[in-house]
A = this chain, B = another copy of it.
C-alpha cells in the first residue's frame, strides 16, 4: 500500500466534523483502504466472498467432531443458499462464489460451483506430505486465477473463506511451523471436540509437525510448510491472497484457516500484509497466535468459530462505513463548525 496515500488520508480525516481521532479504528481502516486503492479509493465498493472447499486426509485420525462427508454436504448447502455465509453475503450484497479445489466427491457439472478440483482431498499428513509439489502449484494457481476474475468483475474488496472438515488441524500445524508455537497452544476444539478428542488432536498435530519439520520448523520455507501440512483449499486461498494484493484489492480474511493461508502468503511476500484486514477474532486459540504473527488487529470479536468467510463478510459493513465516512462527511470549514480551543 502507498504510504503517501495513507498520509493524505490521515490529513483529510483530521478536517472532518468530529473531534480528532474520535472515529478510532474506523480512521485506521479508512486510511488503510485509501492506501490500498490509491486514486481509486472513491470508486464504489464492490464486494466478493470466496469459499474454497476441500477434504483432508488427516480426518482418518479422528481429528474432527463431524464426519468427512460434511464438506460435500455443506458445498451443496452453499449452492442451495442455506448456509450462514449465504445469508450474510445476501444481506450485505457480497457476490458469493464457491470453489471446489479438492472435495472428495464427484460433483459432475453441478451448476453454481467453480469446478477447480485438484485432487479428491489432500493426503494424510501424519504419514506423507499433504500435497505433491504439482498439486500445490495447481491449487496456488486456482487462487491466482480467481483473484484475476474478481478484478475483471470489478470487485474491490474480497472476503476469503473456506469449508473443509479437518482443516483446523492443518491450520494448527501451519501455526506451529510459522510461529514456533507448541501444538498444545495452537490446537483448539475445532467444530466442537470433547476434551478427550481434543487431546488426541493435539498429539496428532504434534506428531505431524515433528514428522515434517523435526525440531527445526524455523528452517522450513513457507511453500514447504504449505505442501507438507497444508490443504488444497488453504493453498488456493494463499494463492488468491498473493494475487489479490498484487491487484490492489482490499482483502478481508476470516478465521483461523483463512488466516493461516494469509500467513503463508505474507511469509512468501511480506508486502502482502498491508492489503489484509482481519475481519474478526475467532475462538480458535491458534487464530490469536497467527494474528500476532501477522501484526493484525481484528475488526470484530464476537466469539464466532464457524469459518465459511462469515467473520469476514460480517466485517464488510464496518469497512464500508469507514470509507463512507471518509468520503461523505463535511469538513469543519464546509459546515461552519468551530474547532477545538
What string of 1s and 0s marks CB contacts (under 8 Å) between A301-341 and chain B? 11111100010001001101100110011100011111111
Which parts of A185-203 form the interface with B (CB within 8 Å)?
191-192
Chain B nearest Cβ from A166, distance in angstroms: 13
Q: Does residue A110 face the partner (Cβ distance < 8 Å to B)? A: no
Docked-complex contact A87 and B329, CB < 8 angstroms: yes
Report the Cα distance A70→B18, complex, angstroms.
Answer: 11
How many copies the complex holds: the figure is 2
Stretch at the interface among A2-10, A23-31, A97-105, A245-253: A23-31
* Residue on B nearest A304 in the bound complex, by CB: B24
**CA A90 – CA B328 in complex, angstroms?**
10
A83 nearest CB neighbor, chain B only: B17
Beta-carbon nearest neighbor of A316 in chain B: B317
* Any B CB within 8 A of the CB of A218: no
On whether the beta carbons of B65 and A341 are closer than 8 Å, the reply is yes
Q: What's the nearest-Cβ distance from chain B to residue A300, in Å? A: 7
- Which residues of A (250-304) have their CB < 8 Å from a CB of B? 283, 299-304
Number of A positions contacting B (CB below 8 A): 60
Residue of chain B at shortest CB distance from A66: B340
Whether A18 lies near B330 (C-beta < 8 A) is: no
Contact B330 A321 (CB under 8 A): no
Q: A67-B341, A73-B336, A336-B73 are in contact. Are A325 and B24 (CB under 8 A)?
A: no
Please state if B82 and A17 are interface contacts (CB–CB under 8 Å): yes
Contacts of A310 in B (CB 8 A): 23
Measured CA separation A87–B87 after assembly (Å): 25
B335 to A283, Cβ gap below 8 A?
Answer: no
If A304-B22, A306-B22 touch, whether A320 touches B80 (CB-CB below 8 Å) is no
Q: How far is the CA of A271 from the CA of B9 in the complex (A)?
A: 45
A337 contacts B74, CB within 8 Å? yes
A127 beta carbon closer than 8 Å to chain B: no
How far apart are A61's CB and chain B's nearest CB, in angstroms?
14
A92 CB within 8 Å of chain B: yes
Residue A76 lies at the interface, judged by CB distance under 8 Å to chain B: yes
CB < 8 Å: which of B87, B317, B339 contacts A328?
A: B87
User: Given A80-B330, A328-B87, A329-B83, are A340 and B192 also a contact pair (CB < 8 Å)?
Assistant: yes
Q: List residues of chain A with CB under 8 Å of any chain B CB.
A: 16-26, 65-67, 69-70, 73-74, 76-77, 80, 82-84, 86-88, 90-92, 191-192, 283, 299-306, 310, 314, 317-318, 320-321, 324-325, 328-330, 334-341
Lowest 6 CB-CB distances: which A-B pairs, in order? A82-B330, A24-B303, A317-B317, A19-B191, A25-B302, A22-B306
Can you add 14 more A-B contacts, CB < 8 Å, to A24-B305, A87-B328? Answer: A17-B83, A22-B304, A22-B305, A23-B310, A66-B340, A70-B337, A73-B338, A74-B337, A80-B330, A82-B329, A84-B325, A192-B340, A299-B302, A302-B318
